């Protein structure tokens, strides 16, 4: 049993082995007729001995022994008979189990009592704040100004709330727009003392997006996936304002923010910044399809609630006696437009719910008439994953009777059906229609209006889908060191060739030549390549064999590269660089990167001020460029999961699901969400999913 293994002293273990010795066990009577030979030999020589020892009365031998036993430490006489076992093995096992169980119950009970005591300590008696709260006048009545003459929030009402906040009051103002992966990673990384941090977002929670599909059918609860942003902001001693960024005035360093005023109407004001981080995310891409008002989306937590209600509403409608067969089939036809991870995971979760929970409580006819369809424009679902994985997912779906319609494009969504064109095997495009009762639109992301507005203002912003940044994550076109962008709303420029002159400038200075007329030797090329790698860490993979590249592009075999040849070389590298994926992973890494950089900059600021360095490429001087490390992709596909981690593919059933869960469990934002996740998973196992809508 465990008692012994867990560190009992050996003395105790030995005691147990002695337990059955008659010397020590008072239960075994010293009955006559069972004495050892030694006693016989003793009594052989006994008569004279007894005669001589005057203290011993003349009693029958066993009676004498009995008397002796009452006095401790006398020599004792023992039986030779095999000793009876004191307890049966079974009884002993039973007693010990009982003891172990008792101990377990007692410790558990103790913990519960301790928890109750802790709980009792968390209730506050009476109003907690009695003293006057210092609030600066300028926070209560902000002055107006800026291009639109709006109130400027130079100070906030909680600037003097605590000593920590007071000390930050005059630190550089760091304004963070958005509360997604990038912003939260930045907040978690940031030293709380270096900046006056203000976070602005229309939603006051951080959403753990990768598990959002699980919340749509009740596998997880909505609250388990979100963390109050104020809790995260508080750790950085920051401030939070619930509002939406409308515009940025780069010259006066003001963000225009609109917020719902006291009576619900929009009120705009300016928030001044020294550093601005844009992490406002993206919106659903409509791809110009008509009738998207008949679709559901899956971007925020409230979408998950709407989907859950819609699915259950359809199930309830399907039970009504007034619903015809045809209508029932339509109501139970669930269409997912988009075969990316979100679409696939939603299809999987929906299928799980319909398969595991529906049949228990709803009429069986529903289960027979349900159909789930995934419409994918590419040839395979999960097309950003390894082919083996997307094939595994397709097989899994085929087995689960989830229909996958590949090479299909949605043309229009009507309230009761979806029209799509499908390329058949001969490449001919046919238009089909699918009756449906529910449609999820998850076909990728697009730019928000705010980003579009900024891009239009700035020079050098040519990407239609996202704000372009350099490799230091600085917004292209904005003053250096002022504005950064992270996450889905941004993309890192990979235009190595555009910077050819920059790379050659130092070389040209050294040699006193016009960069465009220079001949670059292999040694020079090595220097250039090093500079390229520093500036574009993502290009490092393609700059491994410098000699080969040099040889390949030295077309005239002159032993040197001229400007044109170098440009061609760099252009070829550009073409190999893909833009970074719009994932939580990338945003998280970018946020962490900015956090570390800002900490470093704050550390170096006093020295720089001393040297009166307040211009030039401070970012570059302080910190390396951003480099993305792809850690892998994973997806849940209905009691199975696929992994694509560092090029290693792995897919499987339940064990993979547990692994998938543990990865997200570990990545979850707080202890609170972790405990809630564990509770939710247990709840599903014990009680199934709740099929209610409200």
Pair of tokens at residue 166 = 């007071």
Closer residue to a copy of itself (CB): 409 or 684: 684
Could you tell me the smallest distance in angstroms from the CB atom of residue 643 to a copy of itself? 19
DSSP reduced 3-state for 226: strand
- Report yes or no: 174 and 277 within 8 Å, Cβ to Cβ: yes
Q: CA 501, CA 512: separation in Å to the nearest integer?
A: 14
Interface with a copy of itself includes 92 (CB under 8 A)? yes
Residues from 180 through 199 that contact a copy of itself (CB under 8 A): none
Interface with a copy of itself includes 203 (CB under 8 A)? yes
Q: Roughly what angle, to the nearest 10 degrees, separates helices 522-535 and 500-511?
A: 140
Write the CB contacts of 585 (distance below 8 Å, at least 6 apart in sequence): 630, 631
Among 406, 385, 405, 375, which Cα is nearest to 641's?
385
Closer residue to a copy of itself (CB): 601 or 640: 640
Interface with a copy of itself includes 127 (CB under 8 A)? yes
- Select the span of 282-290, 352-360, 484-492, 560-568 touching a copy of itself (CB under 8 A): 352-360
Residues from 415 through 454 that contact a copy of itself (CB under 8 A): 415-416, 437
Among 60, 73, 82, 459, binds a copy of itself (CB under 8 A): 73
Site string for a copy of itself, 366-405 (x = CB under 8 A): -xx------------------------------xxx----
Closer residue to a copy of itself (CB): 20 or 457: 20
Residues from 597 through 636 that contact a copy of itself (CB under 8 A): none
Interface with a copy of itself includes 93 (CB under 8 A)? no
Q: CA 661, CA 436: separation in Å to the nearest integer?
A: 31
- Report yes or no: 239 and 197 within 8 Å, Cβ to Cβ: yes
Pair of tokens at residue 644 = 């694509």
Residues from 100 through 119 that contact a copy of itself (CB under 8 A): 100-104, 106-108, 115-116, 118-119
Report the relative pairing of strands 239-242 and 519-520 from DSSP bridges: unpaired
Alpha-helix residue ranges (DSSP H) falling in 122-217:
137-140, 163-168, 181-189, 212-215
Residues from 287 through 326 that contact a copy of itself (CB under 8 A): 300-302, 305, 312-313, 316-317, 319-325
- Select the span of 273-281, 357-365, 449-457, 504-512 touching a copy of itself (CB under 8 A): 357-365
Could you tell me the smallest distance in angstroms from the CB atom of residue 282 to a copy of itself? 19
Q: CA 578, CA 607: separation in Å to the nearest integer?
A: 38
Among 76, 530, 555, 609, binds a copy of itself (CB under 8 A): 76
Closer residue to a copy of itself (CB): 356 or 620: 356
Residues from 7 through 66 that contact a copy of itself (CB under 8 A): 7-9, 11-12, 14-16, 18-19, 21, 23-27, 36, 38, 41-42, 44-45, 48-49, 52-53, 55
What CA dihedral angle connects 116, 120, 123 and 128, to 10 degrees? -140
Report the relative pairing of strands 254-260 and 244-249 from DSSP bridges: antiparallel
Interface with a copy of itself includes 122 (CB under 8 A)? yes
Interface with a copy of itself includes 414 (CB under 8 A)? no
Residues touching a copy of itself, count (CB under 8 A): 161
| Residue 81 CA from chain centroid, whole number | 70
Pair of tokens at residue 219 = 């596998």
Residues from 132 through 171 that contact a copy of itself (CB under 8 A): 133, 135, 139-140, 142, 151, 153, 156-158, 161
Closer residue to a copy of itself (CB): 8 or 501: 8
Closer residue to a copy of itself (CB): 304 or 580: 304
Rg value, the chain, Cα: 38
Pair of tokens at residue 271 = 């928030």
Residues from 214 through 233 that contact a copy of itself (CB under 8 A): 221-223, 226, 228-231, 233
- Select the span of 261-269, 464-472, 523-531, 641-649 touching a copy of itself (CB under 8 A): 261-269
Could you tell me the smallest distance in angstroms from the CB atom of residue 39 to a copy of itself? 9
Q: CA 383, CA 366: separation in Å to the nearest integer?
A: 32
Closer residue to a copy of itself (CB): 195 or 206: 206
With 0-12 CB in 10 A as exposed, 13-18 as middle and 19+ as buried, what is 380?
Answer: middle
Interface with a copy of itself includes 78 (CB under 8 A)? yes
DSSP reduced 3-state for 599: helix
For 24, half-sphere exposure in the C-beta direction (CA atoms, 13 angstrom radius) is 8
Closer residue to a copy of itself (CB): 254 or 467: 254
Q: CA 176, CA 484: separation in Å to the nearest integer?
A: 9
Among 2, 163, 610, 648, binds a copy of itself (CB under 8 A): 2
User: What's the DSSP call for residue 355?
Assistant: I
Q: CA 682, CA 354: separation in Å to the nearest integer?
A: 19
- Select the span of 68-76, 246-254, 538-546, 592-600 touching a copy of itself (CB under 8 A): 68-76
Could you tell me the smallest distance in angstroms from the CB atom of residue 492 to a copy of itself? 31
Q: CA 183, CA 438: separation in Å to the nearest integer?
A: 33
Q: CA 504, CA 512: separation in Å to the nearest integer?
A: 11
Could you tell me the smallest distance in angstroms from the CB atom of residue 230 to a copy of itself? 4
Closer residue to a copy of itself (CB): 107 or 631: 107
- Report yes or no: 522 and 550 within 8 Å, Cβ to Cβ: yes
- Report yes or no: 233 and 164 within 8 Å, Cβ to Cβ: no
Interface with a copy of itself includes 82 (CB under 8 A)? no
């Amino acid at each position: 049993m465990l008692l012994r293994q867990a560190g009992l002293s050996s003395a105790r273990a030995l005691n147990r082995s002695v337990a059955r010795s008659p010397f020590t066990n008072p239960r075994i009577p010293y009955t006559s007729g069972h004495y050892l030979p030694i006693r016989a030999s003793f009594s052989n020589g006994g008569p004279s001995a007894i005669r001589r020892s005057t203290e011993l009365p003349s009693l029958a031998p066993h009676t004498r022994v009995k008397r002796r036993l009452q006095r401790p430490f006398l020599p004792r006489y023992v039986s030779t008979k095999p000793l009876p076992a004191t307890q049966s093995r079974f009884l002993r096992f039973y007693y010990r189990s009982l003891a172990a169980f008792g101990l377990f119950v007692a410790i558990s009970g103790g913990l519960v009592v301790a928890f109750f005591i802790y709980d009792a300590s968390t209730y506050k008696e009476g109003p907690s704040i009695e003293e006057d709260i210092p609030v600066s006048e300028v926070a209560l009545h902000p002055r107006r100004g800026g291009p639109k003459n709006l109130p400027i929030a130079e100070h906030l009402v909680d600037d003097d709330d605590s000593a920590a906040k007071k000390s930050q009051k005059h630190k550089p103002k760091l304004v963070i727009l958005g509360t997604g992966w990038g912003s939260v990673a930045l907040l978690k990384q940031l030293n709380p003392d270096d900046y006056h941090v203000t976070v602005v977002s229309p939603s006051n929670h951080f959403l753990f997006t990768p598990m959002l599909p699980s919340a749509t059918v009740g596998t997880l609860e909505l609250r388990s996936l979100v963390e109050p942003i104020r809790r995260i902001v508080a750790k950085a001693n920051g401030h939070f304002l619930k509002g939406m960024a409308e515009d940025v005035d780069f010259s006066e360093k003001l963000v225009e923010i609109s917020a719902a005023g006291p009576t619900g109407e929009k009120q705009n004001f300016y928030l001044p910044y020294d550093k601005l981080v844009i992490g406002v995310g993206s919106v659903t891409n409509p791809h110009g399809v008509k009738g998207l008002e008949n679709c559901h989306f899956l971007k925020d937590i409230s979408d998950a609630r709407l989907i859950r209600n819609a699915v259950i509403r359809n199930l309830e409608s399907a039970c009504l006696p007034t619903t015809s067969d045809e209508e029932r089939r339509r109501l139970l036809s669930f269409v997912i437009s988009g075969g990316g991870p979100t679409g696939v995971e939603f299809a999987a979760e929906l299928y799980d719910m319909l398969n595991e929970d529906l049949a228990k409580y709803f009429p069986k006819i529903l289960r027979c008439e349900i159909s789930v369809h995934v419409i994918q424009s590419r040839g395979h679902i999960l097309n950003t994953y390894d082919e083996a994985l997307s094939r595994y997912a397709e097989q899994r779906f085929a087995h689960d009777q989830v229909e996958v319609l590949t090479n299909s494009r949605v043309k229009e969504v009507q309230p009761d059906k979806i029209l799509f064109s499908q390329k058949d095997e001969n490449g001919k495009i046919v238009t089909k229609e699918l009756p449906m009762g529910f449609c999820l639109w998850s076909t990728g992301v697009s730019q928000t209006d705010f980003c579009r507005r900024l891009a239009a203002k700035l020079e050098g912003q040519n990407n239609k889908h996202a704000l372009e940044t350099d490799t230091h994550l600085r917004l292209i076109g904005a003053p250096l060191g002022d504005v950064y962008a992270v996450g889905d709303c941004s993309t890192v420029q990979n235009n190595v060739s555009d910077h050819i002159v920059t790379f050659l400038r130092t070389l040209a200075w050294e040699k006193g030549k016009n960069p465009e007329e220079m001949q670059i030797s292999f040694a020079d090329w090595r220097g250039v390549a090093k500079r390229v790698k520093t500036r574009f860490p993502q290009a490092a993979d393609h700059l491994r064999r410098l000699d080969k590249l040099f040889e390949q592009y030295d077309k005239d075999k002159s032993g040197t590269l001229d400007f044109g040849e170098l440009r061609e070389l760099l252009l070829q590298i550009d073409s190999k660089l893909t833009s970074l994926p719009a994932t939580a992973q990338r945003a998280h890494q970018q946020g962490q990167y900015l956090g570390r950089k800002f900490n470093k900059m704050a550390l170096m600021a006093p020295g720089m001020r001393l040297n009166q360095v307040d211009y030039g490429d401070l970012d570059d001087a302080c910190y390396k460029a951003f480099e993305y490390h792809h850690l892998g992709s994973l997806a849940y596909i209905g009691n199975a999961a696929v992994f694509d981690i560092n090029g290693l593919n792995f897919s499987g059933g339940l064990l993979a699901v547990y692994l998938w869960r543990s990865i997200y469990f570990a990545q979850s934002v707080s202890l609170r969400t972790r405990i809630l996740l564990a509770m939710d998973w247990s709840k599903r196992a014990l009680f199934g999913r709740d099929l209610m809508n409200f």
